[in-house]
Structure 1
Amino acid sequence: MGRTFFFGSIHGPMECRLPVDVDQVQQGWNCFLSHPLDFFESTHPSRLQVFLNRFKLIDHSIDEVIWKADQLGPFSVSDAVKLIVQAGNFPSPAWPKVVWGNNVPSKIMLFHWLAIKQSVPVRVILFKRHILPPNHSLLCNWCMNEDETIEHLLLHCPWSFKIWAELFRWWNLRWIIPCSVEAFSFDWFYGMGLNASKYWKLIGPATLWAIWIARNDFIFKGKFTCRSVIVRNIKLKVFLWATNLKLCHGFQAYVWDQNPFLLFS
């Protein structure tokens, strides 16, 4: 009996045959090459044989791949990240707690993550990736004064800032917007107070998404949405999410719109 495996090579396949006795598994591999090896390839068979000799094949069994980081064997990204962090002594980032599992739709969570990772396709990012031509304008469509970066579009543009300011007035808050989306995310996640934070965990991502959708509608559809409509849609969308999460009730819509602090006073 025998088993044959084929390994890719620059010039052709390399055939490796393992002779297997019916009564006893022979420890070792015999490699038969289908072509002469070049000098730089001559060390590969011996290195391959040393590697394979660490494994003992059991006859009459199905080959399978087992992920050793998990006791049950299946691979998971979370286990891989833990291994990388442990091996390299990398500090575990804190922003995943702010983004993932935040009870907002997956597409909005993904957009929030892209904004933190500086991967939203605004004009400056597209220019750096050589998608926009060199002579293309990088100015923000709303203010036409500064280049369209992620932070400028979503946070600091006068047009976007007025949306945030109206939401702050709605909650009777005074807040200075930080320089990055990540820092601002920590503000609404941890800094609004325990009762307000559970609502702002929804309001923050919803506002980022609403600003991005309004920007795309203006560029690709020629549709301009006024800020009051955007704010009203944000309030309605978040109220529906909060109702589904049992943070408030449907009959409290008027209270939500006028003075949301009464919901937990």
Structure 2
Amino acid sequence: MVKDLCEQRGGTWNWNFSWRRNLFQWEEGIVTRLQELVDPVILSSEEDRWWWRPDPDGEFTVNSSYKFLMGESWLGEELEVDAAWIFGQLWESPAPSKVIAFSWQLLYDRIPTRRNLEVRGILGRDTPWECLGCVGMVESSLHLFLHCPSAMMVWYEMFRWLGVIIVIPPSLFLLFEVMRGSAKNVKMQKGFVMIWHATIWSLWKARNNSMFSNVSFTPKTIVDDIKVLSWKWSITRLKVSPSMFYEWSWDPGDCLLR
């Protein structure tokens, strides 16, 4: 404890360092520098407590830590207004936290795609670098989740399922904005964002199953998985009346309006 290194003299607290052995000569210089650092600190008789610096009141909250990480993880680059808004909306979803966190990492391009692993020198020269959903293209985040023909088929089917006609946009940010903006009200917005997360998560799981378990990367199977997963989330996480799976498969928008 810090208080064990102090003693009170004449109403003031002073540092009193004690060591279990005699210091080596080179250590004495380190202690001197330490003393110079701590001497300006004014000690009080109040009980020590933790203080969370990112919050003005010193209290740790998930909200303050999220804002802190948002500022730090962009490595000094400022977010565009639209991108910053989307990052804020990303968490307004009933999807599981680990799934939202993955989507957050994806938009920052911080997931372990083959392209990112290659850039970091983790993949060897003989390691395959191609996307598992097509042939001849590097597996980058944008390609795997958006521009790969298999991924595009999944997204087209998702929007058709939601009753929305779409031309695939050039970025995942715009894709998120289009899906969220297609909803008729706040209830549907939460549901559509949840389905967006379910699609991202299912594409990643399908990629991993194909890579590690030799399971075919098939758009139809991925679409079916998304419908099942989003239906399960809708039952346990959405504040709407539960629906049967056949109802959800037929018209999720109607189920979200209940």
Match of 1:20 in 2: 8
**Residue 237, structure 1, aligned to residue 226, structure 2:** no
Contact 1:31 1:45 in 2 (8 A): no
Match of 1:47 in 2: 36
**Which deviates further from its counterpart, 197-206 or 42-51?**
42-51
Aligned pair partner of 1:105 in 91, 96, 99: 96
Paired residues, number? 240
| TM-score (ref. length: structure 2) | 0.75
Q: Give 1:191 deviation, angstroms.
A: 4.3
Match of 2:127 in 1: 136
Q: In the superposition, relative to structure 1, how do residues 218 and 81 fare at CA in structure 2: closer, same or farther (>3 Å)?
A: closer
Q: In the superposition, relative to structure 1, how do residues 32 and 168 fare at CA in structure 2: closer, same or farther (>3 Å)?
A: closer
Q: Give 1:122 deviation, angstroms.
A: 1.1
Contact 1:70 1:79 in 2 (8 A): no
- Cα-to-partner distance string for 1:31-65 (whole Å, 9 max, x where unaligned): 7894546898597256325323x223x3xx75444
From the CA coordinates, give the structure whose radius of gyration is larger: 1
Aligned pair partner of 2:210 in 213, 218, 225: 218
Equivalent-residue separation in structure 2 for 1:83 and 1:153 (angstroms): 29
**Residue 119, structure 1, aligned to residue 110, structure 2:** yes
Equivalent-residue separation in structure 1 for 2:68 and 2:158 (angstroms): 41
**Which deviates further from its counterpart, 228-237 or 141-150?**
228-237
Contact 2:195 2:226 in 1 (8 A): yes
Q: In the superposition, relative to structure 1, how do residues 111 and 249 fare at CA in structure 2: closer, same or farther (>3 Å)?
A: same
**Which deviates further from its counterpart, 210-219 or 91-100?**
91-100
Equivalent-residue separation in structure 1 for 2:98 and 2:7 (angstroms): 53
| TM-score (ref. length: structure 1) | 0.73
Contact 1:160 1:211 in 2 (8 A): yes
Q: Which has the higher helix share?
A: 2
Equivalent-residue separation in structure 2 for 1:4 and 1:66 (angstroms): 20
Q: What aligned pairs does 1:1-265 form with structure 2 within 5 A after superposition?
A: 5=5, 18-21=6-9, 24-26=10-12, 28-29=14-15, 34-36=23-25, 44-45=33-34, 47-52=36-41, 54-56=42-44, 58=45, 63-67=48-52, 69=55, 71=57, 73-76=58-61, 78-79=63-64, 93-194=84-185, 196-224=188-216, 226-244=218-236, 245-251=238-244, 253-263=245-255, 264=257
Q: In the superposition, relative to structure 1, how do residues 191 and 170 fare at CA in structure 2: closer, same or farther (>3 Å)?
A: closer
Gaps of 5+ in 2: none
Q: Give 1:81 deviation, angstroms.
A: 6.4
Gaps of 5+ in 1: 6-17
Q: In the superposition, relative to structure 1, how do residues 47 and 75 fare at CA in structure 2: closer, same or farther (>3 Å)?
A: farther
Q: Give 1:166 deviation, angstroms.
A: 1.2
